[in-house]
């Protein structure tokens, strides 16, 4: 934990982690990998500050839950945001793409690949023509194979699926590097960080070390394909119980958009019963299943890969 971030030893760890990630996601040569700090939230600002470089730049945001809503709010500080989904959209699914209002001159189309709180996951890649896609994979990176070549930027905080809090992974197509606005803080400037090999300032060294171990573990499991199969099996177990419970367990997400990673549900019908939900959590706790309680709207018996990985 005391290794200098500029030491040969740490450099070997970092390069190893980047190579493993490249192998695991088949990241093409024209994409760079950065290990930054600031979490997913830092990227909510970094993305518009690096891509919305001209006055009046427009960016399309697909808001499908609270994380994309937060990213949109941040984006509004730096560019003209077009909320491209119909305003009637609730956080229980993804409206058909025929109803979206994408801007032809957008600098990027943004969405959250898996809404961690609302349990809505994209199981398709939107059609955006030449407009680069930016996606937040904080809660489903490496839970299935991904065609990276279809994206402009993929980012993810490490703490859910690939390690512990601290490091943030950014996978970026190289033509999108080098356009930051002059006021972009150095630690969020993709070009500066790339030129400095992700050590422009002290990176989260221990978090990167853990990521390296997790990547190696995922490789041993059979890679992203194997993780994808496992998360299908695990999530199906829970959805089958919900669906066969005659409404006792209740999920408000449309089945086609259900997350394989985070499954919010209520107990005792759509409103939930405080008594039953508390009893469920107490009984789960007795059986060694802790930390299932989600946000106030839901109970989240989440099959977060990290909690499964490290047991
Ligand atoms: C999908 C998603 N995006 C972004 C964030 C914010 O990440 P951070 O806390 O690393 O800023 C979270 C955190 O839970 C998340 O689940």
Residue 299 predicted with pLDDT over 80: no
Question: Given ligand 1 and candidates 139, 211, 306, which is best to mutate, with the most ligand atoms within 8 Å of its CB?
Answer: 139
pLDDT band at 303 (very low <50, low <70, confident <90, very high): very low
pLDDT at residue 188, as a whole number: 98
Instruction: Spell out which residues line ligand 1, taking CB within 6 angstroms.
Output: 39-41, 67, 112, 116, 136, 138-139, 157
Q: Which of 46-50, 223-227, 266-270 has the lowest mean pLDDT?
A: 266-270
Report the atom number in ligand 1 closest to the C-alpha of 157: 10
For atom 16 of ligand 1, the residue with the nearest CA is 116
pLDDT at residue 296, as a whole number: 54
The 10s digit of each residue's pLDDT in 251-263 is 999 999 999 999 9
Report the atom number in ligand 1 closest to the C-alpha of 39: 10
Q: Which residue has the higher pLDDT, 141 or 305?
A: 141
Active site members:
67, 136, 160
Report the atom number in ligand 1 closest to the C-alpha of 114: 1
Tell me how far the alpha carbon of residue 40 lies from the centroid of ligand 1, in angstroms.
5
Same topology for domains 8-220 and 221-309, yes or no?
no
Residue 235 predicted with pLDDT over 50: yes
Q: What percent of the chain has pLDDT over 90?
A: 83
pLDDT at residue 294, as a whole number: 75
Tell me how far the alpha carbon of residue 18 lies from the centroid of ligand 1, in angstroms.
21
Residue 1 predicted with pLDDT over 90: no
Average pLDDT, rounded, for the chain:
92
According to CATH, what is the number of the domain 8-220?
A: 3.40.640.10
Residue 40 token pair? 């997913």
Tell me how far the alpha carbon of residue 245 lies from the centroid of ligand 1, in angstroms.
31
Average the pLDDT over 81-90 and give the result: 93
The 10s digit of each residue's pLDDT in 144-202 is 999 999 999 999 999 999 999 999 999 999 999 999 999 999 999 999 999 999 999 99
For the chain, the domains span 8-220, 221-309
Tell me how far the alpha carbon of residue 8 lies from the centroid of ligand 1, in angstroms.
31
Q: Which CATH architecture does the domain made up of 221-309 adopt? A: Alpha-Beta Complex (3.90)
The 10s digit of each residue's pLDDT in 203-212 is 999 999 999 9
């Amino acid at each position: 934990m005391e290794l200098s971030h500029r030491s040969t030893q740490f450099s070997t760890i970092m390069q190893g982690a980047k190579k493993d990630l490249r192998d695991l996601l088949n990241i093409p040569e024209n994409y760079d990998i950065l290990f930054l700090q600031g979490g997913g939230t830092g990227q909510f600002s970094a993305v518009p500050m690096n891509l919305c470089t001209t006055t009046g730049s427009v960016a399309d945001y697909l808001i499908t839950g609270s994380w994309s809503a937060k990213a949109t709010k941040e984006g509004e500080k730096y560019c003209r945001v077009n909320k491209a989904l119909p305003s009637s959209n609730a956080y229980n699914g993804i409206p058909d793409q025929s109803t979206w209002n994408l801007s032809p001159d957008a600098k990027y189309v943004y969405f959250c690949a898996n809404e961690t709180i609302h349990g809505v996951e994209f199981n398709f890649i939107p059609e955006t023509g030449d407009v680069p896609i930016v996606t937040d994979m904080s809660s489903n990176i490496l839970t299935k194979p991904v065609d990276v070549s279809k994206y402009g930027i993929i980012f993810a905080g490490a703490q859910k699926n690939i390690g512990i809090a601290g490091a943030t992974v950014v996978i970026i197509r190289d033509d999108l590097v080098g356009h930051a606005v002059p006021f972009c803080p150095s630690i969020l400037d993709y070009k500066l960080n790339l030129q400095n090999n992700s050590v422009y300032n002290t990176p989260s060294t221990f978090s990167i070390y853990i990521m390296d171990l997790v990547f190696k573990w995922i490789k041993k499991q059979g890679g992203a394909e194997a993780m994808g199969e496992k998360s299908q099996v695990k999530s199906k177990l829970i959805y089958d119980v919900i669906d066969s419970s005659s409404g006792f367990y209740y999920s408000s997400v449309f089945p086609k958009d259900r997350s394989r990673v985070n499954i919010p549900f209520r107990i005792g019908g759509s409103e939930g019963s405080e008594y039953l939900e508390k009893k469920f959590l107490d009984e789960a706790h007795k059986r060694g299943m802790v930390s299932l309680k989600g946000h106030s709207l839901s109970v989240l018996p989440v099959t977060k890969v990290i909690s499964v990985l490290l047991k």
